[in-house]
Amino acid sequence: MAPIYGDVLCRALVICVVFSLFWTNANGMYVKAADTKEALDHLRDIISNSENKDPDTHSIICGDFNQANLKTVLPNFYQHVTCPTRGINTLDQCYSKMNSAYKAIERSGLGNSDHSCVLLLPKYIQKVKRSKPVTQTILSWTDSAVEALQDCFEQTDWTTFLDQSTNLHEYSEIVCDYIKFCENVCLPRKTITLFANNNAWFNKQVRRKLHEKDEAYRN
């Protein structure tokens, strides 16, 4: 009898890590003991063809493998189910390319099934939870502060720095130091909290847009 398998291409809505493309190739398997080699060879061809077409595809293979071992044909995949699923045997398995990505927890079977259910919890810890937030003092470029800084520059006699400099390098250093001095005098300071997942592009405009989107979704 030919191996029974399913091949599903789905859009992943929630994933535990960030992939370059959020496409997941999920394959469900049931391998009969007599068809182990044929089933593994067939599955290897399916996964290889899928990943050759799109190298960024994330493949997850799960199902009842009986005594089959997927790593014999796909050695770069890792098995995540560590608890027994039928008696003392781990027949139901789940493979992916992410080593130590999930923690397997045994659950009771559905109905009269003699197979246990398995809950796979991501071991991945978000970067924001791995690192403590840090505080940083920065200059606040408010409209009034910028106007005060511009007035300061307009009142400055820049030729004085040129007359006191012996070369271009010395002149540029004096001007830069003076600009920093004016910034420290005219611009107020504020303390901000930086989280590990902060990105340079995630500014207040983006944050406001996300807040508006959440409000629109709730309403």
pLDDT at 157 over 90: yes
pLDDT score, position 206 = 86
Other beta carbons within 10 Å of 104 = 19
Sheet strand arrangement including 78-79: 4-11, 23-30, 58-64, 92-96, 78-79
pLDDT at 29 over 70: no
> Are the beta carbons of 93 and 81 closer than 8 angstroms?
yes
Reported confidence tier of residue 19, pLDDT bands at 50, 70, 90: very low
Reported confidence tier of residue 172, pLDDT bands at 50, 70, 90: very high
Rounded Cα distance, 81 and 120, in Å = 8
pLDDT score, position 48 = 86
Rounded Cα distance, 210 and 215, in Å = 9
pLDDT score, position 24 = 56
pLDDT score, position 16 = 34
| Residue range 63-86, pLDDT digits in tens | 888 888 888 998 999 999 999 998
Identify the residue with better confidence: 39 or 134: 134
pLDDT score, position 25 = 57
pLDDT score, position 58 = 77
Output the six-digit token pair for 130: 């791995």
